[in-house]
Amino acid sequence: MIKRSLLSLFWAGCLWLTSFSQSFPSRNTSLLSAAQQSVAVNTEASLIVISNALPKVTSFSDGTSSFVEIIVSREPDLQFAHLGQGFELQRVEKANGNWVIVIKLQPQTRLRLEQDSTSDHHVVKLLFVVAGSVGNGAREIAPALVRENQNPIPPPQANVALGAAGERLATPPRPAGQTGSMPVRNSATEGELKEATLDLSVPESPAFTVLGLTPQTVVRPTSPRELVAALLNGVDANGNLQTGVALETAPFLLWHHKNFTLEKYRNDRLAQILTRTQISLATAKGTGENDKSVRVGLGIHTTLLDKGDPRLDTDLTDCFDKYLNFPKRNDGESLQEYQARFKAQFKEYKTLAENCRQEAKKRNWNRTSLVLGFAPSWISPKGELNDLGWNGGALWTSFAYGFEQSESLRKIAQLIVHLRYRSDEMVPKPEMQNQFFKQDSLFIGGRLRLGGPDFAASIEGSTIRSKPEGKVSDMSYRISFGAERRIASDTWFQVSFGGEGGRADSKNKPFVLASFKYAFSKTPTLAPPGTN
């Protein structure tokens, strides 16, 4: 059965590959016209969002249905094909200065995502494929396929309440959270996303995550004075909490940004921890439309151990020193001319430095580390500072082991163990709008990952225990194996299978997923960063 399924998908993939050049927009043609042409020949239901601002795409679930939300700061041009086949347009509205488009996926619909940009336009193309049909090779909107430098699908930090669905690759860490009016988000759509890799990362901004936010603007003070000003902006003169506050800072560097040298950092273990400790603070309005309550989240993210700390990587320092050189002076050149020429090399320096950092990532991708995140939250029913009450919290921790002692494994293997606990989380009631219940949950997951330039594999497992208020607790588990192999320079063949059990909703099932992937970047999905 499995073999037959794989062969079918392999054949479908081959067919797709042969027609690839016709269906994929050329990089050299106008992006706008390429997108329009693609719709004209495409019989799949689709939505194209074109804007001269970069759209942000997130997906989430309310427990029964899956949604996609697109936020863009400029008025977008929307183009539909076969509206109603696989998706419904829920709303298009302008909110807080942004255009928000929300789409509801119909059952059994898979979502695929294409994105591209020119200097003038950004295009997001959503393709809605009824399960069982073969897509045209666009990127599937699954956490496993979310890649660095692409528009982020936020990590499903809230998914503990809803099961293990949709957890994404743990690396690289990225600012976390969700956005919009719904308080609890699951970044996964249903179905295929359950086969995605687990999210074993600690959110970099736990305060945003615990409140379910993806702030459009985050204040990052660069001085103690700016920090105090930002905090004061969070409360008005009458003690009323202001919503929409999103603040993040590394307090140690804030106070020591003029006298904390690289040498001091390298020789002081405590200072290393303090430097890599970030505080985040956020406020958000209550969950209902007429709800006057204000929620406040405070987050701490700290790296207690990191054998791949780039500041301790002398090879990285040497690389900077080797490639970041001052231009040679020309005969007769004046001081002004020379300094102008030096400043004009900014982009070149930036590229060279980034190359050094990427090389360092390749060296250090799997080094042993221990990261901790903690986020208590409070709620004020009247939105006042003096009536804040406890509103639950969250704890995340990830330990990665890099097999540094093993010559054969230290460059290709990583073992990650992750734990997160969430208390008093507000979870949407299935099929009931703006209705929530409280839940505590504990997630424990682990992954062993092996990666090379042309092959990557991972095995992972997780268990979730959730305890809704006033109900008995539920415990489920999940185990999966995934592998992918490069079959052409930009094409990877992926296969994953596994199963889950113990779910109270009796939706336990094994799964097998095989696919070809053409990625915008030439990197594998499962492989660790830097191994290609």
From residue 300, give the alpha-carbon distance in Å to each of 125, 247, 397, 423, 448: 36, 12, 12, 16, 27
* Per CB under 8 A, 270 contacts other proteins: no
Helix (H, G, I), strand (E, B) or coil at 261: coil
Minimum separation from the CB atom of position 54 to other proteins (A): 15
H/E stretch holding 29 reads: none
Binding residue count for other proteins, defined by CB under 8 A: 47
| Tokens 């009016």, residue located | 181
> Min. distance of Cβ 507 from other proteins in angstroms?
38
Q: To which residue do tokens 């059990």 refer?
A: 501
Q: Which of helix, strand or coil describes residue 301?
A: strand
Interface residue with other proteins among 29, 108, 222, 242 (CB under 8 A) is 222
346 binds other proteins (CB under 8 A): yes
Q: How far is the CB of 310 from other proteins (least distance, A)?
A: 4
Task: Indicate the DSSP class of residue 382.
Answer: T
Report in angstroms how near the CB of residue 222 gets to other proteins at its nearest: 5
Nearest CA to 193 out of 142, 235, 157 is that of 142
Please say which residue, 154 or 461, places its beta carbon nearer to other proteins.
154
C-alpha to C-alpha distance for 364 and 355, rounded to whole angstroms: 14
* Residue of 32, 83, 253, 444 that binds other proteins (CB under 8 A): 253
Based on the shown chain and the rule CB under 8 A, indicate whether residue 279 belongs to the binding site for other proteins: no
Q: How far is the CB of 177 from other proteins (least distance, A)?
A: 14
Residue 250 as a binder of other proteins (CB under 8 A): the answer is yes
Report d(CA 213, CA 179) in Å as an integer.
Answer: 5
Q: Is the peptide bond before 251 cis (omega within 30 degrees of 0)?
A: no
Token couple for 224 = 């103690």
Which lies closer to other proteins via its Cβ, residue 101 or residue 247? 247
Closest separation in Å from C-beta 360 to other proteins:
8
* Residue in 82, 121, 220, 410 binding other proteins, rule: CB under 8 A: 220
Residue among 78, 353, 385, 417 that touches other proteins (CB under 8 A): 353
- Residue 371 in contact with other proteins, rule: CB under 8 A: no
Residue position matching structure tokens 């615990």? 210
Sheet containing strand 294-306, edge to edge, reads 246-249, 277-285, 294-306, 369-380, 389-401, 413-428, 436-451, 455-468, 474-488, 491-501, 510-518
Q: What's the closest the beta carbon of residue 233 comes to other proteins, in angstroms?
A: 18
Site membership for other proteins, residue 342 (CB under 8 A): yes
Cα 154 to chain centroid, rounded:
4
Q: Of 151 and 317, which CB lies nearer to other proteins in the complex structure?
A: 317
339 binds other proteins per the rule CB under 8 A:
yes
Interaction between residue 149 and other proteins (CB under 8 A): no
The residue (of 60 and 252) whose beta carbon lies closer to other proteins is 252
Judged by CB under 8 A, which of 307, 357, 465, 467 binds other proteins?
357
Residue 1 or 335: which CB sits closer to other proteins? 335
**509 near other proteins, rule: CB under 8 A:** no
Task: Output the six-digit token pair for 233.
Answer: 């902006």
Return the DSSP state at 266: H
To other proteins, the closest distance from the beta carbon of 351 in angstroms equals: 9
H/E segment holding residue 280? strand 277-285
Dig out the tokens for 161 from the structure.
């309440």
For residues 128 and 135, what is the distance between their CA atoms, to the nearest angstrom? 9
Show the binding pattern over residues 159-198: x = contacts other proteins (CB under 8 A), - = does not.
----------------------------------------
Under the binding rule (CB under 8 A), the answer on residue 332 touching other proteins is yes
**Member of 249, 287, 293, 480 binding other proteins (CB under 8 A):** 249
DSSP letter at 471 equals: S
Say whether residue 217 binds other proteins (CB under 8 A): no
Residue among 275 and 423 whose Cβ is closer to other proteins = 275
Nearer to other proteins among residue 273 and residue 459 (C-beta):
273
Q: For other proteins, which is the closer residue by CB, 264 or 471?
A: 264
Q: 304 vs 483, which CB is nearer to other proteins?
A: 304
Residue 342 token pair: 């030096």
Alpha-carbon gap, residue 527 to 50, rounded angstroms: 32
Reduce the secondary structure of 150-192 to three states and give it as a string.
CCCCCCCHHHHHHCCCCCCCCCCCCCCCCCCCCCCCCCCCCHH
Residues near 136 by beta carbon (within 8 Å), at least 6 away in sequence: 16, 19, 23, 24, 42, 44, 112, 127
- Both tokens of 511, joined, read 């799964």
93 vs 268, which CB is nearer to other proteins? 268
Query: Would you state the structure tokens that stand for residue 136, as one six-digit string?
Result: 């045209």
Residues 292-331 that bind other proteins (CB under 8 A): 310-311, 313-314, 316-318, 320-321, 324, 326, 329
Q: Which residues bind other proteins (CB under 8 A)?
A: 204, 218, 220, 222, 248-250, 253, 257-265, 275, 310-311, 313-314, 316-318, 320-321, 324, 326, 329, 332-336, 338-339, 342-343, 345-346, 349-350, 353-354, 356-357
